[in-house]
Amino acid sequence: MKRRSFLKNILSRLLKISAAIILVYPIISYLFYRKTRIRRVTFRLSECPGEISFKKEVYLIKKGNDLYALSAHCSHLGCIINFDQKTEKFHCPCHGSIFDIHGNRLAGPARRPLSRIPIEFDKDGNVLVKVRRTA
């Protein structure tokens, strides 16, 4: 093998390897790196006048004897949903998904219900909600 062809062969392989690394590295880092943040949201029951309270991307719902929290992120693509008092339904402004008061999907492109978030009570009777978000 001549020296020129040997150097061309080595150089072309190095270029292919470096191109593969440049193209594959962002995909691998995206798939395997997820940072989870936990944010605490406190609802003071004295400040919650009605059945539904909204604070920091969380809906706290008091329906009869039930008390539960729903994520305000649409299960389709994560848009912040709005609550309609007249129909008692959640509406996604981005793609038109509709959810009932319990978070069940009624219409639209979303395939899953809204995420229920576990609640806790502190010593003063306030409701604590821990929201987990991946960044």
Render pLDDT for 80-121 as a digit per residue (tens, 0 to 9): 888 888 888 888 888 888 898 888 888 888 888 888 888 888
Bridge partners of 1?
none
Quick one: fold of 36-134?
Rieske Iron-sulfur Protein (2.102.10)
Residue 98 main-chain phi, psi, to 5 deg: -125, 135
Give the pLDDT of residue 133: 64
Residue 36 has a pLDDT of 67
Confidence of residue 134 (pLDDT cuts 50, 70, 90): low
Residue with the larger pLDDT of the pair 37 and 28: 28
pLDDT of amino acid 54:
80
Could you tell me the strand order of the sheet in which 66-71 lies?
A: 52-55, 58-63, 66-71, 116-117
pLDDT score of 49: 64
Residue 53 predicted with pLDDT over 80: no
What pairing do the DSSP bridges indicate for beta strands 36-43 and 116-117?
Answer: unpaired
Inform me whether the pLDDT recorded for 50 exceeds 80.
no
pLDDT averaged over every residue in the chain: 82
Strands 58-63, 116-117: pairing is unpaired
Under the banding of pLDDT at 50, 70 and 90, the label for residue 70 is confident
pLDDT > 80? residue 25: yes
Determine phi and psi for 4, rounding to 5 degrees: -65, -45
User: Phi/psi at 40 (nearest 5 deg)?
Assistant: -95, 130
β-sheet with 105-107: strand ranges across: 82-84, 89-91, 98-99, 105-107
Q: In the chain, where are the structural domains located?
A: 1-33, 36-134
Q: What is the pLDDT of residue 13?
A: 92
- CB-CB contact of 71 with 119 (8 Å): no
